[in-house]
Homo-oligomer: A and B are copies of this chain.
Amino acid sequence: MTGVKDLMHKVTHIRSPSGSRPTSPTAQPTSPTGSRPSSTISPAPSADGTASPRPTAPAEDMTPRMKENGELETKSEVKKRVAAEKKEKLKQEKEAARLKKEAAEKAAREAADVDYSADKYGKLPLVQSTERTGIVRTQFVNLSEANVGQDVTFRARLQTSRAQGAKMVFLVFRQQNHTIQALVQVEPELVSKKMVRFAESINPESIVLVEGTVQKPLEPVKSCTVQDAEIKIKTLRIISEAPNLLPFSMADALRPADSAEGATVALDTRLDNRILDLRTITNQSIFKMSSGVCNLFREYLNSQGFVEIHTPKLQGAATESGSSVFKVSYFKGNAYLAQSPQLAKQMCIAADMEKVYEIAPVFRAEDSNTHRHMTEFMGLDMEMAFEEHYHEVMETIDGMLKSIFAGLKQRYADDIAVVQKQFPHEDFTFLDETLVLHYTDAIKLLQEAGVQQGTPPAPIGDHDDMSTSTEKALGVIVKEKYKTDYYIIDKFPIALRPFYTMPDPTNPLLSNSYDFFMRGEEILSGAQRLHDAPMLEERMRAVGINPDDMKSYVDGFRLGAPPHAGGGIGLERVVMLFLKLNNIRRASLFPRDPKRLEP
């Protein structure tokens, strides 16, 4: 068995000499190559390096892997997995040998046939920008019964193929998160048996260029997103060929994690082969929505007069403390990666920018291996000068978040439905008037429900910090009582907040700060900040920070600054919690954690 890379080397790329290269869709294609089993091979998440362009582990890899819940496999789980992997590998090898033999026999049998459609299929030469025919390429999203009878040309991925006898093959083509059924059927002088066999032999995930006619299917195609139209194929050519064996099939990749209907793909396997994984319609929808969150965030804040800023990620000093920061070699010295734009965005307020936001990566050198931590994630930060009360800002943030939730539901209803098939969940609910709980009232709810935390478990004190599981318990209580997945907790104990937080004017134990929650998990933390330099310096010294170490920051307030407040959302958390993806890595294109820097 050969690795994908080697297979790819054997693929012949016909390139004509410079200047005489035929490239239009009607150019003479090269003869069909390769063969493929007529049924889709859907190996379970395989540890077989030879079948994977990015092997996740050798066949006998006894290293414990991370499971869905963030824990490592136990020894016995590892043994079980390795045994299963070995068995699967043997099975695949046998199957591949059998199929190869069959294909060779078939090819021999039919070598004598006359092929009257030899110019209608095959492999195209490399697209090197030689010509522009301007022929319009159709998008599936625009196709329906209304187009029946029309001739169309399109580029798409082949998702699956299924032969029906020797004279017909059904194909499913995919463009991002839209799929359509097509068929190649023997027809005298138009479609030869060889063309049908070629269609059947194309490796799934290859990119093809198709000409065909839109027709009405015999019955609605339930397995495709376009259900009331299908394509009768006239020409079929390969633009870019996928390998014979993929790390996993699209069908497996689309099954919910707990599916009983077939193999599923482990998260680590997906992330190791992220490019393939990202092609599922689920992921196409997730990242369309992730893009949507950013657009909605900006649209709302732009409408409120905010200005977008870009602050440096390279810092001269390791600031803000709390989380650890990454150290960077910077010419002959060192720099540090910003763990948030906190200081810089406040400096923009001191610089009269009034209302600012930033969407940028933030970096955390924390060795946290959980479902909700990454070392690099996207911060959607905002900061705003206010006139009288920090609730002006809290209400702006609330308006922004509600606008995001409503916008997602309105613009991405189809995508939410797609994701729900793989990640079943109740629709995200929020109230027109957001629930704002005083911190002490939130604690009271927990106390009344008998929630305990710590080791050994104990009742929660009025000014105690809430653990992640306590926060989740509160989410359940709130959902039950107030029918909402979204709420605010206001007035956190000052001891739990960073040094730059403004104390409450009436209770010195509390502060003018708030957290925003989705489904019982915190997505935004914010507060009124200290805008008075002497007070800020006093607080810094109290927590052991030398104000001179953050001179530029403190200087901003010495030069006069307006009262201000703000906050920051984690983009991936919002997407994960809105869609209940259960692991933050699923909301990041190429996630980074203490153990993963690739791909």
Contacts and interface: CB of A to CB of B under 8 A. Distances in A.
A489 interface: no
Report how many copies the assembly holds. Answer: 2
Contacts of A176: 352-354
Interface in A152-181: 155, 157, 174-176
Given A13-B532, A155-B562, A310 B131 contact: no
Interface string A546-577: 00000111011111111100000001000000
A352 B562 contact: no
A475 B131 CA distance: 30
B288 A562 contact: no
A241 B557 CA distance: 9
A528 B129 CA distance: 9
Nearest to A533: B8
A54 interface: yes
A532 B12 CA distance: 12
A314 interface: yes
Nearest to A134: B388
A2 interface: no
Contacts of A147: none
Residue among A137, A205, A328, A367 with the most chain B CB within 10 A? A328
Nearest to A563: B127
Contact of A314 (B310, B354, B375, B599): B375
A256 B124 CA distance: 60
A131 B388 contact: yes
Contact of A391 (B8, B129, B361): B129
Interface in A1-44: 4-5, 8-9, 11, 13, 18-19, 21, 23
Nearest to A153: B387
A312 B506 contact: no
A462 B273 CA distance: 44
A91 to B, nearest CB: 23
B388 A310 contact: no
A329 interface: yes
A206 interface: yes
A275 B240 contact: no
A506 B19 CA distance: 5
A555 B277 CA distance: 13
Contacts of A365: 330-331
A598 interface: yes
B378 A310 contact: yes
Contacts of A290: 308, 310
B551 A54 contact: yes
A11 B534 contact: yes
A126 B535 contact: yes
A132 B388 contact: yes
Interface residues of A, number: 128
A57 B593 CA distance: 42
Contacts of A599: 347, 551-553, 555
B505 A21 contact: yes
A328 B326 contact: yes
B562 A353 contact: no
Contact of A126 (B207, B532, B597): B532
Given A129-B388, A129-B389, A348-B589, A376 B207 contact: no
Interface string A500-520: 001101111000100000000
A13 B532 CA distance: 9
Nearest to A243: B558
Given A274-B351, A310-B361, A506-B18, A560 B316 contact: no
Residue among A129, A205, A294, A508 with the most chain B CB within 10 A? A129
Contact of A589 (B294, B309, B350): B309
Contacts of A559: 53, 205, 242-243, 246, 275-276
A351 B278 contact: yes
A307 B329 contact: no
A390 interface: yes
Contacts of A312: 361, 376, 589-592
Interface string A508-544: 1000100000000000000010011111000000000
Contacts of A4: 558
Interface in A463-505: 502-503, 505
Interface string A286-309: 011011001100100010000111
19 contacts: A13-B532, A54-B551, A129-B502, A129-B512, A155-B562, A240-B531, A275-B347, A278-B351, A288-B307, A291-B307, A295-B302, A295-B308, A309-B589, A310-B361, A312-B376, A313-B363, A335-B597, A344-B589, A344-B590
Ordered nearest first, which 7 A-B pairs have the shortest CB separation?
Answer: A552-B599, A316-B597, A278-B351, A242-B560, A127-B563, A291-B308, A128-B505
Interface of A: 4-5, 8-9, 11, 13, 18-19, 21, 23, 53-54, 126-134, 137, 155, 157, 174-176, 205-207, 239-243, 246, 273-276, 278-279, 283-284, 287-288, 290-291, 294-295, 298, 302, 307-316, 326-331, 335, 337, 344, 347-348, 350-354, 359-361, 363, 365, 367, 375-376, 378, 387-392, 502-503, 505-508, 512, 528, 531-535, 551-553, 555-563, 571, 588-592, 594, 597-599
Given A129-B390, A314-B326, 8 more contacts: A23-B505, A274-B552, A279-B351, A287-B353, A330-B375, A344-B590, A360-B361, A361-B361
